Chains A and B, each alone.
Chain A
Amino acid sequence: QSALTQPASVSGSPGQSVTISCTGTSSDIGYYDFVSWYQQLPGKVPKLLTYDVTKRPSGVSSRFSGSKSGNTASLTISGLQAEDEGHYYCFSYTGTSAPWIFGGGTKLTVL
């Protein structure tokens, strides 16, 4: 199964909001609500931002929010800050014999 589809890059200015999309199929994102998002800052280990589409772990800023419509999940980052610059990955359950899959990743640039 191919990776979930994310835009290669997005950008925004400090204080603005950006949304990163993650497109799957009716067999993964469209069927299950087990979608999570991860932030990987340069040289760092990935960090969980949201899970079960909309839930946020304790300690994660409310500036990060997840949503889903049909076969597409989205991560919205509001009030962009310079320290948000890095890569973002979606992750979904697929229900197949290889049941988990990442998106290809999106590089966020804060202008």
Chain B
Amino acid sequence: EVQLLESGGGLVQPGGSLRLSCVTSDFAFRSHAMHWVRQAPGRGLEWVSFISESGSTTSYAASVKGRFTISRDNFKNSVFLQMSPLRAEDTAVYYCVRDLILGALDHWGQGALVTVAP
């Protein structure tokens, strides 16, 4: 069974940093692009970032570009999201998501809660 498990969330002050990790299992990780999607409390889904199968191509939402960095380790079947500097509006549950093909997000992790507050 495909599994995605996020970690690294928590409470951080505005201006601080966090690094989310997502460890995956039971599928050919290096054959799939990956995304991070977030959901602020009581709000809708917001696409955050994309990384291609090899890691050579990345993209970001305008709201996080220049502050967040996505990366992956195909030997450790993991994808990461480095976030800095964080703002209050970054408070959300962050989901690690597998891309089946061209934006078909077929497997989602359970999410990691990031809270940015003084």
Contact = CB atoms under 8 A, between A and B. Distances in A.
Tell me whether chain A's interface is mostly helix, strand or loop, or mixed: strand
Interface residues of B, number: 24
Contacts of B100: 48, 51, 57
Given A51-B101, A57-B100, A97-B59, A91 B47 contact: yes
Interface string A76-111: 000000000001010111000111111111000000
A3 B44 contact: yes
B5 to A, nearest CB: 12
Nearest to B61: A98
Nearest to A40: B45
Contacts of A3: 44
B95 to A, nearest CB: 7
B55 to A, nearest CB: 16
Contacts of A51: 100-104, 106
Contacts of A47: 108
Contact of B44 (A45, A52, A87, A100): A87
B59 A105 contact: no
B103 A36 contact: yes
A69 interface: no
B110 interface: yes
Interface range for A: 20 to 34
Contacts of B111: 45
Nearest to B60: A98
Contacts of A40: 45
Interface string B34-63: 010100000011110010000000011110
A64 interface: no
Contacts of B37: 46, 102
B102 A105 contact: no
Interface of B: 35, 37, 44-47, 50, 59-62, 65, 95, 100-106, 108-111
18 contacts: A3-B44, A36-B103, A36-B104, A36-B105, A45-B108, A45-B110, A46-B105, A51-B100, A51-B103, A51-B106, A52-B102, A55-B104, A98-B60, A98-B65, A100-B35, A100-B59, A102-B45, A102-B47
